[in-house]
Amino acid sequence: MTVLILTSEEDVTADMVVVHLNAAGVPVVRLDPADLTGSVALSGEFVHGAFRGHLSSAGRLVSLDSLRSVWVRRPGAAAARAPEPSAWLTEEASQALYGMVRGSEARWMNHPDAARRARHKPWQLRLAQRSGLPVPATLITTFPQAARDFAERYPDLVVKPVSGAHPQDPPRAVPTTRVPPGADFAAVAYGPTLLQRRIAKRADIRLTAVGDRLLAARKATCADGDPEVVDVRFTPSTAPWCPADVPPRLAESVRTYLREAELAYGAFDFAEDADGTWWFLECNQSGQFGFVEVDTGQPIARTIAQWLAGAPSRQGARPADRCGSAVP
């Protein structure tokens, strides 16, 4: 039984997992959907009430009914590198590939439907609340007056993108940024704006969840750092990530979140305040983990490999079953 990994060639983080799968003797087929019609090919036949499908990549051929799991890591858009790419061809190739793989009994990390839903930050915030995770007061609005009222109630605010995406024309980054006192909120009318009460944090927490296993890491806030810079991704720091224990009640809430979201993998970001409370910021359903493992030595890649090496789901399994723990 084979593990199918959908990701780009340069994804060296995926390599960290492939190394463990190789060591365990688990067959792997790794391909980038962007290479469809080039080095990647597919075929599926629906005949006499049965389905037989195959994928090939770089000389490897795999039957879809021999897949034990599918890891959707950093795949390119289907057929993006075809000789004559087009939006139409990408849609055709995407439907053919994902449509056929969906028909297999493989377990997904993460299922495309769950992944698409889990990317919505407003949905994340609501699910975190329902799961019992502390969520900072947040407003998403296009009403300037609502923003002004919110700023009166919570004078110390940060602004961040609703989607987490960064504008590309020209390429810019929109880090989580402190809103200065007296800010003019008129421009809130020109795009949904996410304002959130700033957590005076003493550390950033990255909690990586793989099935039922939770691996948390903590990075202390630099004591003499710039108080205006609140986004750890854009903060130059030499402080390493260190392993951290997950408070039991918070672990229970995180598992509730994952179960409700039907996610087998999630990278949670929290801000730890002076009282030691972990405030939920977001859950990246395909968040990076290599930088944490490199600093902490936590066996995240090995844990992912073990999850992927688990048995495929039984036919007709419900989504929640597909996302359960199956570490052999």
Partner 1 sequence: MKPFALNYARPAAELEFATPYAYDPGLQLNVLLDGRIAARDHALLRELGTTTSTAGSKTHFDD
Residues that bind partner 1 (CB under 8 A): 5, 9-10, 12-13, 15-16, 18-19, 28-30, 39, 58-59, 74, 76, 119, 147, 159-161, 163-168, 170-175, 177, 185, 187-188, 190-194, 206, 232-234, 267, 284-291, 293-295
Residue (156 or 252) nearer to partner 1, CB = 156
Please confirm whether the linkage preceding 175 is cis (ω < 30° from 0). no
Residue (18 or 313) nearer to partner 1, CB = 18
Q: What angle do CA 193, 198, 203 make, to 5 degrees?
A: 130
CA-wise closest residue to 29 among 62, 52, 68: 62
Residue (27 or 132) nearer to partner 1, CB = 27
Residue (51 or 291) nearer to partner 1, CB = 291
Residue pair 104/65 in contact (Cβ under 8 Å)? The answer is: yes
Phi, psi at 287, each rounded to 5°: -65, 150
Q: How far is the CB of 294 from partner 1 (least distance, A)?
A: 5
Residue (173 or 321) nearer to partner 1, CB = 173
Q: How far apart are CA 124 and CA 118, in angstroms?
A: 7
Q: What angle do CA 119, 39, 72 make, to 5 degrees?
A: 20
Q: How far is the CB of 45 from partner 1 (least distance, A)?
A: 27
* Residue position matching structure tokens 């057929």: 79
Q: How far is the CB of 137 from partner 1 (least distance, A)?
A: 18
Q: How far is the CB of 296 from partner 1 (least distance, A)?
A: 11
Q: How far apart are CA 217 and CA 293, in angstroms?
A: 9
Q: How far is the CB of 225 from partner 1 (least distance, A)?
A: 17
